[in-house]
Chain A
Amino acid sequence: MMTEIRILSRGGQGGVTSAKLLAKAGHIDNKFVQAIPKYGAERKGAPIYADVRIADEHVKIHAPVITSNTHSWIILEPSLVETIPFDELKPGTIVIINSQEIPPVLNEQKNLKIGKVDGATIARECGLIKSGTLMLSTTMLGAWIKATDNLVSLEALKKATELQFGVGSLTDSNIRSIEMAYEQFEFVN
């Protein structure tokens, strides 16, 4: 089985880091993984995406995920829901968003499993701010683990976070944000 995930964010929010952390967590859980950042004219504030594959066997595919195959979408920046090609998504595809409210365009998608978490407030509370930008990677992954019924284990994500940021206060803050998002995430339909 292979799970394909797309992460939408703006440069600086931690979308590419999310992909790497999720892959690392899958790796710790002994799954085969791939983290594919879409590079190019990426810069702070520009819309970007990154893909993750988590599989039971070696992944032979190298192209970015095919939209109709996606299992879940993680949206770090709510305004980017406008860019999701909803017509191509399979019924039951999970879309989780960092927002207090579900944007109208997402509310109309009755076939999808839609959930939200107030990632911005959690990240702020945990002090995850760099140069004025909220860093949302770990927060949204905590929500994703809840949404997918622990498709990757919470322990593996925490371990991956420690490997990424080293032992110290940054890791502690990120782990707190993972736990808070895991608690607070809810599906709305």
Chain B
Amino acid sequence: MVQTSEKQKIELLTGNESVATAVKLAKPQVIAAYPITPQTTIVETLSKMVAEGELDCDYVNVESEHSAMGAAIGASLSGVRTFTATSAHGLLYMGELVWWAGLTRIPIVMPVVNRSLNPWNIWPDHQDSMSFRDAGWIQFYAKNNQEVLDLTLCAFKIAEHHKIWMPVMVCLDGFILSHTSAQVSIPSQKDVDEFLPPFEPLAILDPKDPFAHGSLTDSQGIWEQRMSLIDGFENSRVIIPKIFAEYAEKFGKLGKNMIEITGDINSADIAIMALGTLGEEAEQALEVLNEKGIKAVVVRLRVFRPFPRKELITALKKVSKVLVIDRAVSFGNAGQMAIEVQAELYTHKIEIEFHQIIRGLGGMDVTYMEIAAEVEKIM
């Protein structure tokens, strides 16, 4: 039975409504966005909240995603909490400025509602956000509508932490989460206000005290900036789990880890790795496998950037096999997660049997029965 409590109300929300609900609670001062399927209902819902006075925020209507990110960067530099959202081709179109925000460390929160990059296909895969995994953004992948809300709230606190100060992408599978209704526990405004203090700018672009941002920089300056960005990611490895733990303590959701392990890893023979909803679908596959006497466990990366090496290695040391399921491809090589997991296994001399598959491209359905069958094949 669904358990309700006094502090949190449970409502039936789509993934996009979960984003909008979290954003409303986080009280951004500027939203600049452009609609694109399947993201549209996020900004539609937020613009309605602003128009009806439920959310006190400047909503900037722009003519493209390129301008949306441009406006978001400018707004953030003026010293306010800033939000935008996009999908697929919108992300590509804003690409130049996505890198600008990443490389110059602008603490914007942006959900990417995952959609195929095919010229015409609106259904989910991870090719869009994976194309930006190197762009200096922290990346989360949500497994269900609850985690969408939880990660979005944490994203603001993480982006704006002075030792991180970087943009965060919250990735959610298009339609599978964005348009599917499921129950979400919503924290009170009072509790969110306690968790997420007002935006505290590190530096403000002020016409009265001018300085240049993103101006011509020589190689020495670039070197310093890049090293600082690398340091920022190293800081985030330590701080993200702390913020997750604080959230878990306060709201009883998420865990303190950047990866989620479902099942008993100490007795498991095989670990299944998958991002987003495929990760939770794999949790259901565990029951099917258990009936067949196969001891499996799901190791799901809730955070893909920074890549949670330490937690991953600690987990994979305990199993003899791993199956990595990617929902995107680095063409000319393999699935992005598979490549990165292999690198860690080699670096740490962990000799386990490695398997990889690519599934669910362009919205192809992946059922728990299929995941279970893939595991059975390699046992």
Contacts and interface: CB of A to CB of B under 8 A. Distances in A.
B183 A33 contact: yes
Interface string B354-365: 000000000001
Contacts, number: 68
Contacts of B65: none
B78 to A, nearest CB: 37
A20 B1 contact: no
A31 interface: yes
A59 interface: yes
Contact of A33 (B122, B176, B182): B182
A35 interface: yes
B181 A34 contact: yes
B369 interface: yes
A59 B182 contact: yes
A115 interface: no
B317 interface: no
Contacts of A61: 280-281, 284, 367-368
B59 interface: no
B123 interface: yes
Interface residues of A, number: 22
B373 interface: no
Interface string B172-192: 010111011111000000000
A64 interface: yes
A27 B122 contact: no
Interface string B244-287: 00000000000000000000000000000000011011011000
A63 B368 CA distance: 8
Nearest to B146: A58
Interface stretch (A36-44, A75-83, A89-97, A140-148): A36-44
A23 interface: yes
Contact of A39 (B1, B2, B179, B368): B179
Interface in A1-50: 20, 23-24, 27, 30-37, 39-40
A156 to B, nearest CB: 12
A23 B12 contact: yes
A110 interface: no
A36 B178 CA distance: 10
Given A24-B12, A27-B2, A32-B2, A62 B173 contact: yes
A66 interface: yes
Given A32-B2, A35-B181, A59-B182, A66 B280 contact: no
Contacts of B230: none
A143 B369 CA distance: 32
Interface string B217-261: 000000000000000000000000000000000000000000000
Contacts of A24: 12, 181
B363 to A, nearest CB: 8
Nearest to A65: B367
30 contacts: A20-B12, A23-B181, A24-B12, A27-B183, A30-B2, A31-B1, A31-B2, A32-B183, A33-B12, A33-B182, A33-B183, A34-B181, A35-B181, A36-B176, A36-B180, A59-B182, A61-B281, A61-B284, A61-B368, A62-B144, A62-B177, A62-B180, A62-B278, A62-B280, A63-B281, A63-B365, A63-B368, A64-B365, A66-B367, A66-B369
Interface of A: 20, 23-24, 27, 30-37, 39-40, 56, 59-64, 66
